[in-house]
Amino acid sequence: MRYVSTRGAWAGSPQPFCAILLEGLAPDGGLAAPEVYPRLTHDEIKAMRGLSYGRLAHAILSRFITDIPAADLAALIDGTYTAAIFGSDAITPLTTLKPGLHLLRVSNGPTLAFKDIALQLLGNLFEYVLEREGRDLNVLGATSGDTGSSAEYALRGKRHVNVFMLSPHGRMSPFQQAQMYSLTDSNIHNIAIEGVFDDCQDIVKAVSADAAFKARWRIGTVNSINWARVAAQVVYYFKGYYDVAEMVGDPVDFAVPSGNFGNILAAHVAKAMGLPVRRLVLATNENDVLDEFFRTGCYRPRAAAETHATSSPSMDISKASNFERYIFDVVGRNASVVRSLWDQLGREGGFDLRATPYWSRVVESGFISGTSTHSDRIATIRQCAHEFGVVIDPHTADGVKVAMDHSDSNVPMVCVETALPAKFAATIREALHHDPALPPAYADLGQRPQRCTVLPPEVERVKAFIAAHASVETT
């Protein structure tokens, strides 16, 4: 399997997986995408039913990762998807809320959000590839809470990798702050910036724009557009499908609370591989850029100032970074069409596919969408607690709300649970008037000593800190 860019780079020389693993954007600003999706036959999909999570992950990921020997890949996967890390042998257990409505629980990793499923594997892949290539990587990132902690828990203690994570000083939830700042691994550097999240992100952009500094200190990123993350997420859509389909071939719907379009893109890829998924129900919060696209055909990213701070904060996005991969498929994988759409985006702030031949492909792709608001979230958390005895987090509630609006008694609906309620105590208290349960591993979180380095929002100060703590091995 080789990879091309959604905007045409590498067309003459598609790249192997390990070459795109450590890169951010392609040189033309596009995203890495497989040359073709691996197609599985009905019999192959049937034969994979009943596999353990690890064997299923290997069966799927070995189609995307063909430049790591099978035995090594299997060992990396087996070291990742364990009951010790994810809480059960099922890794992503399924709970039935009521007949035809299910919850796929992909949030039982170390930071209690679905991002762990992909990032825990990414940490092991990074270490393996860096070891093989004899080089180091210094990961620089900015976080408002979730992604940063998931990346830190994935990379803590890994050889050849340091993490420099900028977070807004005093602006994360107490749980998120404790989760990150209590890590004591010597390769994890938490930098609390005296500013807001946008200041952190601007510093990361400024450092990354300095090509000489970036090369000298081997700066890399772990962002949501990393292809390996999407590939790792494909696995649990197969798992969820097998859990609810009576017979392989029966249709199943999935509902996914969405922000950067990474999670639901994995469902789209599973479908493209041949998994008999019928509808993909995309749920947004008040930041409804994606709902607007699927309803009207118009994709119009918002300005940062137009982005609402909501009670499902991990979905507060103004543009959906993985969306370009979906559009690449919709336009028949024609990179020059993607290029011209993104040029138009830059010039006019949006594009409209409704009047184009591509709109019928959007409709055929099975996506439908809806928006959920704060009051929907609260009502849905209450309903799930009272009717089904299950406490869900605010993001999952957005998904369940939109799923129930679109459910159809003939086809099972699987809602993807993207975080555990423990992370969002204030909203749970508002809905249920009590605190969410804290998983045992976090019982003493509040008591653990915390450490971070506080810096002013100045690029040069951050660069100096990196230079003093980065590792660069050249062999």
Ligand X SMILES: *Cc1c(COP(=O)(O)O)cnc(C)c1O
Residues annotated as catalytic (active site), given as ranges: 115
Q: Where are the alpha helices (H) located in 51-196, listed in sequence order?
A: 53-64, 70-80, 83-86, 115-133, 146-155, 174-181
Q: With binding defined as CB under 6 A, does residue 108 bind ligand X?
A: no
Would you say the C-alpha torsion 103, 423, 313, 111 has a positive or negative sign?
A: negative
- Considering only residues 140, 188, 203, 315, which one is a binding residue for ligand X as defined by CB under 6 A? 315
**With binding defined as CB under 6 A, does residue 113 bind ligand X?**
yes
Nearer to ligand X, 108 or 263 (CB): 263
Q: Per CB under 6 A, does 326 bind ligand X? A: no
The C-alpha atoms of residue 103 and residue 124 are separated, in whole angstroms, by 28
Among residues 263, 284, 285, 310, the one that binds ligand X under rule CB under 6 A: 263
Binding mask 413-452 for ligand X (x = CB under 6 A): -----xx---------------------------------
Which residue, 168 or 313, has its beta carbon nearer to ligand X? 313
For ligand X, the binding residues in 208-247 under the rule CB under 6 A are 224
Q: Rule CB under 6 A: is residue 258 a binding residue for ligand X? A: yes
Task: Decide whether 77 or 232 has the Cβ nearer to ligand X.
Answer: 232
Contact 286, 376 (CB under 8 A): no
CB of 37 to ligand X, least distance (A): 19
Q: Number of residues in contact with ligand X, rule: CB under 6 A?
A: 16
Report if residue 179 touches ligand X, rule: CB under 6 A: no
Q: List the interface residues with ligand X, window 379-408 (CB under 6 A).
A: 395
> Which tokens belong to 332?
């028949």
- Rg of the chain over Cα atoms, rounded to whole angstroms, equals 21
CB of 419 to ligand X, least distance (A): 3
With a CB cutoff of 8 Å and minimum separation 6, the contacts of 287 are 259, 302, 307, 308, 310, 315, 316, 317, 318
Q: Which stretch binds ligand X (CB under 6 A): 258-266, 293-301, 400-408, 452-460?
A: 258-266
Q: Which two tokens stand for residue 72?
A: 């090594």
Q: Are 117 and 233 spatial neighbours (Cβ–Cβ below 8 Å)?
A: yes
CA separation (Å) from 351 to 105, 244, 328, 347, 359?
A: 35, 38, 14, 10, 12
Name the one range near ligand X by CB under 6 A: 78-86, 95-103, 255-263, 436-444. Answer: 255-263
Among 141, 259, 370, 412, binds ligand X (CB under 6 A): 259
Of the residues 34, 87, 123, 262, which one makes contact with ligand X according to CB under 6 A: 262
Does position 377 interact with ligand X (CB under 6 A)? The reply is no
Triad 353, 314, 444: Cα angle to 5° = 165
Give the residue from 411, 28, 444, 459 showing the smallest Cα distance to 249.
411
Q: Collect contacts of 434-437 with beta carbons under 8 A, ≥24 apart.
A: 436/391, 436/393, 437/391
Using CB under 6 A as the criterion, what x/- string covers residues 133-172 for binding ligand X?
Answer: -------------x--------------------------
287: Cα separation from own chain's centroid: 17
Question: What is the secondary structure of 386-414 as a DSSP string?
Answer: III-----HHHHHHHHHHHHT-BTTB-EE
Binding of residue 261 to ligand X (CB under 6 A): yes
| Window contacting ligand X (CB under 6 A); options: 81-89, 260-268, 358-366, 375-383 | 260-268
The residues of the shown chain that bind ligand X, judged by CB under 6 A, are: 113, 115, 146, 224, 257-263, 314-315, 395, 418-419
